[in-house]
Structure 1
Amino acid sequence: MNPRRLLLGMLPALGVVAGLAPVSAAAVNVSPLDCAGPNACDIVSVYTTIFWIAMVVLVVVGGLIVFAALRFRRRDDREPSQIHGNTRLELVWTAVPLLIVSFLFLRTTLRMDYVRNGPPPQQTIQVTGIQWAWSFKYPNGKTSFATLTIPAGQVVRLQVTSKDVLHSFWVPRLGGQIYAKPGYQNSGWIEASQPGTYYGQCNELCGLSHWAMTLQVDAVSQTQYQAFLSGALPPGTTAAGEKVSGAAAAAKVNETDELKFQPTTASAKVGDVVEWINTGTAVHNVIFDNRAVPGSESMNEGDTFEIKFTKPGTYSYLCKFHEANNMRGTITVTGG
């Protein structure tokens, strides 16, 4: 075969492979069947039972249909013998499905309380769905967005609600989904058997950027969890800013309903205070890429957030709720 023709023929396939490469590289394990905690594993156990019973029914019923179609197919014009009933057979094919359905009902019902309520929790975390990110509030009042940090091997109760529309909290490898309804609080629980990173997604269509409402659960050791709650910076890192309140601001940034920071770029000097003001009706926040600068809580209409910068540098930040809308900004801090 002509090598040139072979290469030309392979180009479409190579293009497809090249296009899929980034997708494959970015793929993460979110299979519910690969459970990583007792809640999810209990759900998988019930599912597996139902699946294999369904497979047996499929094979038996399908096999009988194929057998009947082949064995009793029409061979000539003679009328076959007519059967008007078989009481024993009818009792069997009524009783067997009834027993199967009864078993599945009991198998599911007996596990529902465990899957929903679980063992006594070691702690409770408040979860709020807001277009289009998740907000987490920990027992000591600390908050985080999009990433939930939990201690591995501990039962964590989740109190889930929504600030705007219907959402659904779901981390497939750790448990079932929990609906987030405005004005109502649902509860559920998760536990990660081993430290690791687990991924989830809002599982209820909630608007234009629903696709971007992902979440991440970091299961860490107890020591790491306590360090997270305390807000300790990574070793060797010093704070570049501190939260203040009521100080005169050298620069102000508006958070608008156009899902933009205005101005997008601002400048200040070391020791200056920069103030963010939510001038719209949507919920916003300010989260810095550099962990040395503290971020804000959720900001409703009229809320303000102030940072006093203590080190020069260029600091990028975003609104976590509208990351998909590229709501980002930059502060450049020069020496005092």
Structure 2
Amino acid sequence: MVVPPVMTPLVATLVGVPAVDVSPLNCAGPNACEIVGIYTSIFWIAMAVLVVVGGLIVYAALRFRRRDDKEPAQVHGNPRLEILWTAIPVVIVGFLFIRTALRIDYVRNGPPPQQTIQVSGIQWAWQFKYPNGRTSTTKLTIPVGQVVRLQVTSKDVLHSFWVPRLGGQIYAKPGFPNSGWIEASQPGQYFGQCNELCGLGHWFMYLEVDAVSEADYQAFLSGAPPPGAGPPPAEKANGVTPATNVGETDDLKFVPTSATVKVGDVVQWTNDGTSIHSVTFDNQQVPSLDTQNGGEKYELKFLKAGTYHYVCTFHVAAGMQGTITVTGG
């Protein structure tokens, strides 16, 4: 069963998979921590008001619960009391307004960015384009301790980019660029979710932010294989006659879903529809295609026997996946 990593502990327990920490209160970056600070101020002031008002209501209910026939003293006004209960809310609201206004620009715009990454929401996955032109889908890699500016838009419907532990929501609107920023104080993996209902696959439109060292980030941008990795089991092969063609349809299927080829054969994927697809392999040594528009083709030459599973990251929720079995060699 395919299960997104972003879920509550209760749901995770019910389906039998580990949950991840997505609580915004457990902030892991200066943007998110600033939001938590503002929220905490509002929360404790609200709790104080609740205790005072609730206490007075309980006191009045207990103190005057018994009635008699005597007419109580009639009070037609108390200027001091009226000034007091007007001044207290004014002071509270004024404090919260100033507290928020002084930090709203920081939360929105942040310090000068050290990286700028383009983010596109597409039903139902996130695509990222880095400064050197490299792209990735679903997983965003950033250098730890650096301010990353996110230029966010959508290619279809309204989405909302949100990684709760790193910052606030950034709306992704079709044809309308929006921006925000994140920074991870510690290396690690941080998870998020599209926070705007965007169709049947909305529940699976999660994302992962991988905060790594500067050296690892530069290695990621260059596309260098991980240390100790052997020869890749496949390579790109443009303009070579394919042994097998796999079609990608607007019904959100790979046709055929499984194919068998020999070592040295070329497999071609063709987007026969108008929807955006991808060809993303579980084996990270196999070159993947992050985005494939209608009519585009993608070829791979397989160099090593084995079974290679792949998915369309935009339509995983619809079960769009396939398998290539390579024999011989």
Q: Measure, in 2, the Cα distance between the counterparts of 1:55 and 1:31.
A: 21
Q: As a proportion of its length, which structure holds more helix?
A: 1
Q: 146, 153, 157: which is aligned to 2:149?
A: 157
Shift of 1:268: 2.5
Displaced runs of 4 or more, over 4 A:
19-25
Q: 227, 231, 234: which is aligned to 1:238?
A: 231
Q: CA RMSD in A?
A: 1.6
Where 2:292 maps in the other structure, the secondary structure is coil
CA deviations over 1:22-51 (Å, ceiling 9, x no partner)? 657511111100000000000000000010
Where 1:297 maps in the other structure, the secondary structure is strand
Shift of 1:239: 1.2
Give 5+ residue unaligned stretches, structure 2.
1-10
Where 2:185 maps in the other structure, the secondary structure is coil
1:33-48 matches, cutoff 5 A: 33-48=25-40
- Report what 2:260 is aligned to: 267
Aligned residues: 318
The AA in structure 2 aligned to 1:277 is T
Shift of 1:85: 0.4
- Report what 2:8 is aligned to: none
> Is 1:323–2:316 an aligned residue pair?
yes
Q: Measure, in 1, the Cα distance between the counterparts of 2:306 and 2:106.
A: 51
On the 8 A contact 2:242/2:265 being kept in 1, the answer is yes
CA deviations over 1:311-336 (Å, ceiling 9, x no partner)? 22221111011112221111122336
The AA in structure 2 aligned to 1:233 is P
Shift of 1:299: 1.2
On the 8 A contact 1:316/1:330 being kept in 2, the answer is yes
Identity %: 70
On the 8 A contact 2:267/2:300 being kept in 1, the answer is yes
Shift of 1:129: 0.8
On the 8 A contact 2:12/2:18 being kept in 1, the answer is no
Q: Measure, in 1, the Cα distance between the counterparts of 2:297 and 2:291.
A: 10
On the 8 A contact 2:247/2:255 being kept in 1, the answer is yes
1:142-181 matches, cutoff 5 A: 142-181=134-173
Q: Measure, in 2, the Cα distance between the counterparts of 1:314 and 1:28.
A: 30
Q: Measure, in 2, the Cα distance between the counterparts of 1:332 and 1:20.
A: 33
On the 8 A contact 2:262/2:305 being kept in 1, the answer is yes
Q: Measure, in 2, the Cα distance between the counterparts of 1:203 and 1:66.
A: 40
> Is 1:278–2:295 an aligned residue pair?
no
On the 8 A contact 1:233/1:291 being kept in 2, the answer is no
Q: Measure, in 2, the Cα distance between the counterparts of 1:170 and 1:277.
A: 33
Give 5+ residue unaligned stretches, structure 1.
1-18
1:111-260 matches, cutoff 5 A: 111-234=103-226, 235-260=228-253
Shift of 1:155: 0.6
On the 8 A contact 2:244/2:259 being kept in 1, the answer is yes
- Report what 1:90 is aligned to: 82
TM-score by length of 2: 0.93
Q: Measure, in 2, the Cα distance between the counterparts of 1:141 and 1:148.
A: 14
Aligned pair in 2 of structure 1 residues 116, 224: CA closer, same or farther (>3 Å)? same
CA deviations over 1:69-117 (Å, ceiling 9, x no partner)? 2223342122111100001110111011011101101111111110010
Q: 300, 304, 307: which is aligned to 2:297?
A: 304
Shift of 1:20: 7.1
> Which has more radius of gyration?
1
TM-score by length of 1: 0.91
Q: Measure, in 1, the Cα distance between the counterparts of 2:205 and 2:83.
A: 52
